[in-house]
Amino acid sequence: MINKIDKYSYAHGTRYMDHGSRNYDVAGYRLPSVTTILGRTKDDTYLKDWIKKKGKKEAERIKNASAVRGTSMHKYLENYILGKGYEDLTELGQETKRMAEKVIEVGLAPVSGYFGSEVTVYYPGLYAGSTDLVGLHNDRETIIDFKQANRPKREEWIGDYKLQAGAYAMAHDYVHGSKIDQCIIMVCTPDLYYQEFRIEGTILRRAKHDFLRRLNRYYELLREEEEKPTYGT
């Protein structure tokens, strides 16, 4: 359990799907999610090559297994942070429990308190998202996201993680008047290899800048779709 700090009042956001894309209904706004924006504007050449290499069926199996594992690990971590008991006795549940324990032991050790868990953050009129934790990490207000990975990550593979964190920090600062200058991505694999990626300084400023470019591109694509002529039958 981590101590709760009552400093920020977070709006409740509702996630919903629209034409296969995740969106949020929050504070009177209906907004695209950060993951939707990044997914729509990314270069998917590597993903297409990976699917071709693995085969569509196997690639889908790996993708679904990773998603289920990630959800389970997040559930353990959320309940730990909130001081609630949780146990999943399935094989997957015990695997992700060990992963969560590694994140708790190493990653959350410097976290002395938290402002919100599973927090909906939004930038009015532009985008929204959900960050796993906003807390004090070594006495600095920090956006924290948990990720599961099938194998250790290289720095060059987590570009969109950085942009996601930068987007959350910008939204939090705008709505709550905070000055978040650090984001941390905590990653754990099933064989309990833990990694931590710290996003601050120039790296964080670049992540924010690059996300805004992708955000502009996302809305350009929406306008292009709206302007396409429709033909009657």
Report pLDDT digits (tens) over 91-128: 888 999 999 999 999 999 999 999 999 999 999 999 99
The verdict on residue 20 lying in a domain is yes
- Contacts with 11 (C-beta within 8 Å, 6 or more apart), sequence order: 26, 27, 120, 122
| Number of domains comprising the chain | 1
Specify the pLDDT at position 228: 72
In the block, residue with structure tokens 């910008």: 170
The verdict on residue 6 lying in a domain is no
Q: Structural domain of residue 78, as residue ranges?
A: 13-226
The verdict on residue 89 lying in a domain is yes
The verdict on residue 7 lying in a domain is no
The verdict on residue 1 lying in a domain is no
Q: What is the pLDDT of residues 150-182, one digit of tens each?
A: 999 999 999 999 999 999 999 999 999 999 999
Specify the pLDDT at position 233: 46
Q: How confident is the model at residue 54 (pLDDT cuts 50, 70, 90)?
A: low
